[in-house]
Amino acid sequence: MASFIIARLTLIEAMRRRILLAAFVLGVAFLVVYAIGFNAIRGEMMRVPDNPINNIQRSGAFNFLTMAGLYAVNFLTIALGALVSADTPAGEIGSGTIQVLATKPVRRVEIVLGKWIGFAILLALYLLLMCGGVIAIAFALGASAMPNALAGIALIYLTALLMMSLTLACSSTLSTLAAGGVVFGLYGIAFIGGWVEQFGAFMQNQGAINIGIISSLIIPSEALWRRASFEMTPAFAQTAFFVSPFSSSSVPSPLMIGYALVYLILAVMFAARQFARRDL
């Protein structure tokens, strides 16, 4: 019960510091720019004469634009999750604000869980706005209905929760800046490792594929995105003819999703353990 009270206080604090307002305003601005850009490209594509080949190419282009929007949303949600949790608890310990909660009759593990739940709700609201907006805009402007949209959005949400939990774990041990640096550094490793694996799969280079697998084990953020991309890509766009930066030559297995869930749970447990042992 105490955790949910802290989660509510976390959301109130996010509103007081205008984090929710900033995320909403900038999210709407992103969607407006995305809609204008999509519509401009659509206008050019619609000038192409209708025939079976051109129609397939047009559908592939629309799918590419939709996946590009979702890829941007994936990164923005990860960044939001890392930024809101980097200051918890490191910054709150430094400023002394965490002592207000720590002196109450509530366990420290409940404080960590409450913060985590509050941030998770914040990320869910942001993701619904952004993913829902991108998919709605794409559909309204002529893109076909996206297959497995809920599964894909769930994987993007899992990625954001994973990075937020990892940031929380780092912040329970390191300073705010150090925690942010570590998390974004790990994200960079996953990002480049994922691309190396994609090129390795395309060229059938096992060494490059192994580099990607190792980077996914270090932090599975990019692997989750590639699985989400695979789930949301129509069958016709998964052929070699439609190779794009958002297609997957090497698709992570469902086992990687399970690994990410275990990774997330361990990160939250580590954060709770370190905060419980930390001198306030």
pTM listed for this prediction:
0.90
State residue 241's pLDDT score.
46
What are the average pLDDT values for consecutive 10-residue runs of the chain, which has 280 residues? Answer: 81 83 92 94 80 74 88 94 81 61 70 91 95 93 84 96 94 86 92 86 85 92 91 70 61 91 95 79
pLDDT at residue 164 in the model: 94
Helix (H) or strand (E) holding 136: helix 108-140
For residue 249, the enclosing domain spans 2-277
- Give residue 52's pLDDT: 73
Residue 95 pLDDT: 60
pLDDT at residue 225, rounded to an integer: 93
Long-range contacts of 200-204 (CB under 8 A, 24+ apart): 200/250, 201/249, 201/250, 202/243, 202/249
What's the confidence (pLDDT) of residue 251? 81
Do residues 192 and 215 make contact, with C-beta atoms less than 8 angstroms apart?
yes
Measure the CA angle with vertex 218, ends 214 and 220; round to 5°. 95
Q: What is the pLDDT of residue 4?
A: 82
Q: What is the pLDDT of residue 240?
A: 46
Q: What's the domain count of the chain?
A: 1
Which pLDDT does position 56 carry in this prediction? 73
According to the model, what pLDDT value does residue 147 have? 85
Contact 39, 62 (CB under 8 A): no
